[in-house]
Amino acid sequence: MKRQYLYILFLLPLLLACKPKAPTHVVDAGTADFTKFIAIGDGHTAGYMDDGLSLDGQKNSLGAMIQQQLMMAGAPAIEMPWMSDQNIGLSLNGLSRLILGYKTDCQGISSLSPVRVSLQGETSALTSSAYNPSKKYSNFGVPGVRMIDMVSTAFGNINLPQHNPFFARMSKDQFNLPGSGNYSSVQENIFDGGYPTFCSIYLGIEDVLPYARSGATQHPMSPLAGFPGVGFEESLTQLCEQLYGQHVNAVIATIPNISDWPFFNTIPYNGLTLDAEKAASLNQIYNPIGISFVVGANPFMVADPNAGMFGVRPAVPGEKILLTAPLDSVKCNQMGSIFPFRNEFVLTTDELATIQLRIDEFNAVIRQKATSYGFALVETGDFYDKLTTGFAYNGATLSAKFVSGGAFSLDGIHLNPRGNALLANEFIKAINKKFSAKIPLINALNYNAILFP
């Protein structure tokens, strides 16, 4: 075969991508004035997480996240009663914060579990005042503060057992008043450095949470009615009136449905897993009172004084077994089966309904105040509902699941830095909407979720 004609075309184009110009974005405070911003709230606003307050948590607090964005539109630098240690942290019980580590259970099995980062929390923070008259705080997040504590002069009184150590260390009283002295309230401290121009207010969780955490055994919820310092509504009214009288604008948030949090949902009501032998031995004990067990998943046994003469019954769907339930005793000492869970580890459906009713009442008040004072409103319930169903965020999936959900910290109650960033975005959205502002949202992926060893 002779070639008559061979044609070769060889093309080597170079593919170059050019750099498009960066667009410019307008950041604008709208009708709001952030030049003196103060974040008011509880442990969420303060950066309490992993059951402790640490410097790292403070920097990643809800209050700091909101303020950091508002700084683009005129808010001042963040001033907080900084803890001195980055990591150790301090819990309300004096313990250090939780991290994810390896823990060996009663059966000798080692697995990933929340463990305390050190033997003791940063207790030195309890005896040294963080108050500095030349640096007024822009963050009045106080772990544990209730709405009804805001005007309380007992709240920072170190001579009283019920005082709050986190507030005492930041109060302008600096521990040093005599026993008979007139201690200042949180609210007085907030306005000590002059009135702010803008506030974020996220209060009310602590008015219900301690009751729920105790399995509805201790710490009664705040009443709705009553004078400031007693009832929820009038305590909030007084705060709002004081702000309104000074033309302070604000963003205020409702109380989420706390019973959706991992603290109440990690241990399932029917988490009692039995093999044939264990089911048989429990049946021997319980069959005479009409309770039987099967191989596989069974409801835990819970103590209930109303449940017949033995005061014990199986948990029912919808009931919550709390994260405080001693799982080692479940594994090795028949807790939750032969020995029923005590009331402090269980929220019954009746108790849950009571808590929900109170939250709904409080939220109705918060919504009404937001409307009448012209505050921006954050429906935190919508945010936590989304977390409960789970959602995608820039390719990461976040949910309310303990540890794996990536939004809650290891105490199952407070959000981790990434969760705080996402919740802060809800505050920013509400501010943008109400005050026609243009504040960009936070890239929550820049903040840590759960760190693994």
Partner 1 sequence: MYVDSATNEMYRTENPVGTPLNFYALVKPKRFHRLAYGLSVTTPFGSTVQYEPGWIGRFAITRLSMKVFHIQPTASFKITDNISIGAGFVFSPGSVNLQKDLPVQFNDGTFGHAEISGAAMGYGYNVGVYYNPGGFLSAGLSYRSGINMSVSDGQVDFTVPEGLAPNFPNGTLSASLALPSVTTLGLNIKPNASWNIVADINYVGWNTYDTLAFDYATNTGSLLDTKSPRMYKNIFAFRGGIQYAVFAKDNVLNVRLGGGFGFSPVPTGYLTPETPDGNRAYFTSGISYEFNKHFSFDASIYATKITRADTNLETQLSGTFTTIAWAPGIGINYNW
CA 315 to chain centre: 27
Contact (Cβ atoms closer than 8 angstroms) between residue 219 and residue 346: no
Nearer to partner 1, 278 or 401 (CB): 401
Q: Where in 306-325 is the site for partner 1 (CB under 8 A)?
A: none
With CB under 8 A as the contact rule, which of the stretches 302-310, 331-339, 372-380, 393-401 interacts with partner 1?
393-401
For residue 57, what are the CA distances in angstroms to 24, 209, 262?
32, 20, 19
The residue from 374, 396, 433, 436 that contacts partner 1 (CB under 8 A) is 396
Which of 108, 161, 317, 453 is close enough to bind partner 1 by CB under 8 A? 453
* Contacts with 80 (C-beta within 8 Å, 6 or more apart), sequence order: 46, 47, 58, 61, 63, 64, 137, 138, 139, 141
Q: Which of 316, 332, 353, 445 binds partner 1 (CB under 8 A)?
A: 445
Parallel, antiparallel, or unpaired for β 272-274 and 296-298?
antiparallel
Between the alpha carbon of residue 67 and those of residues 18, 40, 162, 237, 416, the distances in Å are 37, 11, 31, 24, 17
Length of the chain: 453
**CA-based nearest residue to 340, from 371, 379, 299:** 299
Burial 301-328 (b: 16+ CB within 10 A, else e): bbbbeebeeeebbbbeeebbbbbebebe
- The residue from 83, 279, 366, 442 that contacts partner 1 (CB under 8 A) is 442
Please report, as residue ranges, which positions from 92 to 121 form the binding site for partner 1 (by CB under 8 A): 100, 102, 112
Q: Considering only residues 177, 224, 307, 441, which one is a binding residue for partner 1 as defined by CB under 8 A?
A: 441
For position 440 contacting partner 1 by CB under 8 A, the verdict is yes
Nearer to partner 1, 118 or 448 (CB): 448
Q: Which of 271, 344, 406, 433 binds partner 1 (CB under 8 A)?
A: 406
Q: Minimal distance in Å, beta carbon 184 to partner 1?
A: 39
CB of 394 to partner 1, least distance (A): 5
| Between 16 and 309, CB nearer to partner 1 | 16
Measured from the CB atom, is 109 or 392 closer to partner 1?
392
Whose Cβ is closer to partner 1: residue 292's or residue 397's? 397
Helix (H) or strand (E) holding 140: strand 139-141
For partner 1, which is the closer residue by CB, 19 or 247? 19
Among 235, 337, 420, 425, binds partner 1 (CB under 8 A): 425
Q: Which one of 17, 77, 119, 309 is in contact with partner 1 (CB under 8 A)?
A: 17
**DSSP states of 156-182 as a string?**
T-TTSTT--HHHHTTSTTTT-S-TTS-
What DSSP designation does 440 have?
P
Q: Rounded CA gap, 156 and 149, in Å?
A: 10
Among residues 28, 105, 39, which one has the least CA distance to residue 67? 39
Stretch touching partner 1 by CB under 8 A, among 142-150, 184-192, 394-402, 407-415? 394-402
Give the interface with partner 1 as residue ranges (CB under 8 A). Answer: 1-20, 22-23, 25, 100, 102, 112, 391-397, 404, 406, 425, 440-443, 445-446, 448-453
